[in-house]
Amino acid sequence: MKKQLTFLAVTTSILFMAPLLSASQECGEMLKEKCTSCHYNTRVCEKVGEKNRRSWKNTTKRMIRYGLKISNEEINEVTDCLVSLEDNPEIFCDK
């Protein structure tokens, strides 16, 4: 009985964690796709913790002037991802 309960607990937590994990992985993939064609990720990563949501959004919009291809919806997603780097730098940054 105890074994079954442990099994149940482990399975449920995996089921709950999986979407969270893949969401942050997608987030990292998106940043890799959008933000590393002109400069290294270090350009972005050295600013993690320094920029708040608004300045990340402004930065992203400034990148459009340099040629970044991104939809309005994606701007918000990318901004969310950039803000989340403060807690999860490993999804995009090398350290």
57/80 Cα distance (integer angstroms):
9
- The reply on whether position 59 binds ligand HEC by CB under 6 A is yes
Site string for ligand HEC, 11-30 (x = CB under 6 A): --------------------
Amino acid at 44: V
Q: Which of 20, 8, 22, 31 is nearest to 80 (CA)?
A: 31
- The reply on whether position 6 binds ligand HEC by CB under 6 A is no
Q: Return residues touching ligand HEC (CB under 6 A).
A: 34-35, 37-39, 43-44, 47, 59-60, 62-63, 66-68, 78, 82
